Structure 1
Amino acid sequence: MTSSDTQQAPADAEVVEPEARPVRRHPLVLGATALLVLCAAAAVWFGVAWLRAGTDDALDVARARDDAVRAGEQAIITFHTMDYKAVDANLDRWVAASTGDLLDQLERGRASGKSVIEQAKRVSTATVYSTAVIDLNDTTGTATIISAVHQEIVEAGSDKPVDKYLRVQAALQRGEEGWKLAGLTYIAPTPAG
């Protein structure tokens, strides 16, 4: 190729540049980008909330409440479950689940209580339907709960169980071994209407 073969525009000719077209994004790409930004913002927000919750005093109180409910329900079940053929084992469980004045009462009255249970010739099992914490002091390690309890009682020689429904208020005390029953009160049913 020679220089005469190449065409050059005359000096007074107007140079036309290609027209700049706006960059068009596909709607799917825009939506995915917006979703990515939202997800990142949510991840940051939940991460900060999680870190705050890990050091929150309310979390300690919630754990104490949950522990008190679990231990209280188990103690209520223990105190409402009895087999007259295994009184000593049952009374040992009562002692293990109690503390304070209640524990003292159980230990002082064990012999007479055992005699009463053996003469009654009953087998009872209990189920806790629901429990509410009505007082909790995490600092002193005390709590009060109310539970709805179903007790099934079978008399010796009978196959037909008798259902008994109770409302129980339990005082709990936390010690080195966790929450234990410090007192038990039965709440009289309130008549409807």
Structure 2
Amino acid sequence: MVAAVALAVLAAGAAGWGGWSWYRAAHDDSAAYAQTRDQVLAAGEQGVQNMNTLDHKNLTQGLDTWQNSTTGDLRTQLVQGRSEFEKQVRQAQTVTTAKVLSGSVTELDVRAGKASVMVALRITVTAPKSQPSAKESRLLGELTRTSDGWKLSALGQAPVGETAPTPQPSAAG
């Protein structure tokens, strides 16, 4: 009888410990931070890929995707320069595609709703009557949390060397 009571107490203790551990893990700030970091990385990689993909045959859709991937000054620049850029792309008749090779979150301030990413891409440009030309590029992006999720607010080339200036609000593509 004593052994059964001891076993029941031990089982109840183990169940209590398991429940407490589960609760603590579910309400852990580091788990929420990791989830936000993953969301930022996914949004940053997709945004950078979007900003480096454009087909002259689907120009309106492509530029709409650019605008939907951005916010702030970067979006404003895209909207203001859109008609001139459309003329240039239609004239050049290029198709640009990007593939994300790797990416990382370099900064994340959840409270301020700001983040930075570095994304490595392979960008392929195809012009009329030319062979496709591919190059690898590293871009720095800044993201801002909006009501629609994380969006690019700045995008620029990552420097080669030891200094890393802040990305400026400009379209890469």
Partner Cα distance (1:175, 1:52) in 2: 29
Q: What amino acid sits opposite 1:101 in the alignment?
A: D
**Residues 1:173 and 2:152 are matched in the alignment:** no
Q: What amino acid sits opposite 2:159 in the alignment?
A: A
**How is 1:22-61 mapped onto 2 (pairs within 5 angstroms)?**
48-61=20-33
**Residues 1:65 and 2:17 are matched in the alignment:** no
Q: Deviations over 1:10-69 (max 9, x none)?
A: xxxxxxxxxxxxxxxxxxxxxxxxxxx9xx97x887654432110011111111111111
Going from structure 1 to structure 2, the CA distance change for 1:46 and 1:80 (only over 3 Å counts) comes to farther
Going from structure 1 to structure 2, the CA distance change for 1:88 and 1:45 (only over 3 Å counts) comes to same
When structure 1 is superposed on structure 2, of 68-77 and 45-54 the one drifting more is 45-54
**Residues 1:83 and 2:55 are matched in the alignment:** yes
Q: What amino acid sits opposite 1:111 in the alignment?
A: S
Which residue in 1 is equivalent to 2:107?
A: 135
**Residues 1:188 and 2:159 are matched in the alignment:** yes
Q: Deviations over 1:94-128 (max 9, x none)?
A: 01111000111111111111111112221111111
Report the CA distance between 1:190 and its aligned residue. 4.2
Moved over 3 A (4+): 43-50, 188-191
Partner Cα distance (1:120, 1:110) in 2: 15
TM-score (norm 2): 0.80
Partner Cα distance (1:46, 1:65) in 2: 27
After superposition, the CA RMSD in angstroms is 2.1
Report the CA distance between 1:157 and its aligned residue. 2.3
Contact 1:143 1:172 in 2 (8 A): yes
Partner Cα distance (1:92, 1:154) in 2: 21
Q: What amino acid sits opposite 1:183 in the alignment?
A: A
Q: Deviations over 1:123-165 (max 9, x none)?
A: 111111111111100111110000111111111123x321111
Q: 3-state SS of the aligned residue for 1:151? A: strand
Which residue in 1 is equivalent to 2:135?
A: 164
Partner Cα distance (1:95, 1:178) in 2: 14
Q: What amino acid sits opposite 1:163 in the alignment?
A: A
For structure 1, the residue ranges without an aligned partner over 5 or more in a row are 1-36
Which residue in 2 is equivalent to 1:9?
A: none
Going from structure 1 to structure 2, the CA distance change for 1:50 and 1:94 (only over 3 Å counts) comes to same
Contact 1:167 1:189 in 2 (8 A): no
Identity of counterpart residues, as a percentage? 35
Counting matched residue pairs gives 151
TM-score (norm 1): 0.72
